[in-house]
Amino acid sequence: MYKWYLILFFLLNYKGYSQAQEIAHLTNLEEVSKNFTFDIKYATENNFLEKKIYDCSKCLLLPKVADALIAANNYFCEFGYQIKLYDCYRPLSAQKVMWEIFPNAMYVANPYRNKSVHNRAAAVDLTLVDFDGCELDMGTTYDFFGKEAHQDNFNLPEAVLQNRKLLREGMKKFGFNPIRTEWWHYDFTNAYSFPVLNSLFDCD
Ligand SMILES: [Zn+2]
């Protein structure tokens, strides 16, 4: 009987070990640059689900995605702005929680089909802030699900259109592509070629 406890103990620990290994190669953006602002919404209840999905606030990305984002941030700094991040890597299990609450494929990627690029640590949700930390007016709040948030909606004040254009053009220069329905979301080049990950954040 004792032997089986030992095997069970080993298996449980091995699972934890392999989970940690799965995301060990990701870059923790906060550790490599002090020039970003972070407001990881799913680590709080201040999100469209009104539910805390992550155990802690972290921005983990594939190393090449993090490098490109640092380059983009340097570019925006020349204009007097800085990137503020709302979401980065999202474990597949968190995607399933979102889908259970809000199963609308226009705004939440189906975790049982093509999954989200956030699950691949190759997508970012972000906006721009000035050096006082004030967000630029992008016309809607983060995770506003409606046509006002769409990239192809030009029925918005000129200043909003200019702010979105600045963000879009800057991000594109560094390999990030917008999606039609969310002004805040950018996928890195070849985003769907990267593997889906499911390890939870190491919050220690
Ligand atoms: Zn997103």
pLDDT at 120 (0 to 100): 97
What is the model's pLDDT at position 88?
98
Strand-strand pairing, 182-188 and 27-28: unpaired
Is 25 flagged in the annotation as binding?
no
pLDDT at 114: 85
Residue 8 sits at φ, ψ, to 5 deg, of -60, -45
Provide the pLDDT for residue 3. 58
pLDDT at 5 over 80: no
State the distance from the centre of ligand 1 to the C-alpha of 175, rounded, in angstroms. Answer: 16
* Cα distances (angstroms) measured from residue 150 to each of 19, 76, 83, 112, 139: 36, 22, 20, 25, 10
Q: CA angle, corner 164, sides to 32 and 96, nearest 5?
A: 65
Distance 123 CA to ligand 1 centre (A): 6
Which of the residues 45, 50, 78, 182 is marked catalytic?
Answer: 182
Q: Tell me, rounded to whole angstroms, the distance of Cα 138 from its chain centroid.
A: 18
Measure 119 CA to ligand 1 centroid, in angstroms. 10
148 is catalytic: no
The pLDDT value recorded for residue 7 is 52
Percentage of the residues of the chain whose pLDDT score is greater than 90: 84
- Residue 65 pLDDT class (50, 70, 90 cuts): very high
Cα separation, 99 vs 53, in Å, equals 12
In this predicted structure, the answer to whether residue 2 has a pLDDT above a threshold of 80 is no
Name the nearest CA neighbour of 194 among 40, 19, 23, 54: 23
CATH topology of domain 26-193: Muramoyl-pentapeptide Carboxypeptidase; domain 2 (3.30.1380)
The label of the residue with tokens 């918005």 reads: 156
* Cβ–Cβ < 8 Å for 54, 100: no
Res. 4 pLDDT band, cuts 50 70 90: low
State how far the Cα of 51 lies from the Cα of 152, in Å rounded to an integer: 30
Cα(132) to ligand 1 centroid in Å equals 25
Domains of the chain, residue spans: 26-193
Residue 12 has pLDDT above 80, yes or no: no
Contact 41, 100 (CB under 8 A): no
Tell me the angle at which helices 63-77 and 158-173 cross, rounded to the nearest 10 degrees.
130
Q: pLDDT per residue over 185-199, tens digit each?
A: 999 999 999 999 999
User: Ligand 1 center to residue 6 CA distance, Å?
Assistant: 42
Report whether 202 belongs to an annotated binding site. no
pLDDT at 140 over 90: yes
Q: What is the pLDDT of residue 46?
A: 95
137 is an annotated ligand-binding site residue: no
